[in-house]
Amino acid sequence: MSVPVAFEHRFGLQGERPWGECMENNQNLIKIFEYALNQEKTGMSFFKTSVERLGVGAAVTAFKQIVEEEKRHIVFIEAILEKLRLDQAVDLPSLEKEVLEPTNYFDDRSRSEFLEKCLYESMIPDVTVFNTAWLIEKDLSEFYEKMAQKVDGPASKALKMLASWEKSHEKFFKEFRDKLTDTYSQMPWGG
């Protein structure tokens, strides 16, 4: 299958196709990034709502930081979509500078304080929120990884970058979900 020259310039690199054999045209890339944009917005909405549910200061701070990172992911994807829709090259290096690497949401002391406070407060909402957040990030990172395998060149690189960022969120939420679940399961039950 031959790829039109105009498509080869889409992501700013001649000779590299921004999609693999399964991706036949620009519309497929647009659909991938539109889906990604929708999922990022849904995730951000969940995190914003979760800030209201969580009463522990460290968790609220972490979720607010994640909301800010999700906003940067949205800006990143919107910039790619804009260029794709205008049939223009995407300058990934300059876009990459806009989206910073993930932060360390809790330092070691905050981690201990957060888990300790959970012992004295109702943990069920926290476990549920962290579990749901983990599933959202896991699904999204898996989507990005799967799509990155179906495309080539800079489009694949952009999706791999997104997968990496979501993987860091996934790891964070899984760690706390597991710790909260473990702590919760070890609480004394009975009268």
Please report which confidence band the pLDDT of residue 46 belongs to, taking 50, 70 and 90 as the band edges: very high
Please report which confidence band the pLDDT of residue 23 belongs to, taking 50, 70 and 90 as the band edges: very low
Give the whole-angstrom CA distance, residue 92 versus residue 101.
15
Helix (H/G/I), strand (E/B), else coil: 25? coil
pLDDT over 70, % of the chain: 67
Cα atoms in the 13 Å half-sphere on the side-chain side of 160:
12
Residue 21 has what pLDDT?
38
Cα atoms in the 13 Å half-sphere on the side-chain side of 187:
18
Q: Is the pLDDT of residue 33 over 90?
A: yes
Average pLDDT, integer, range 164-181 = 84
Average pLDDT, integer, range 56-74 = 81
Give the whole-angstrom CA distance, residue 61 versus residue 106.
9
What is the average pLDDT value for the chain, to the nearest integer? 76
The architecture that CATH gives domain 24-183 is: Up-down Bundle (1.20)
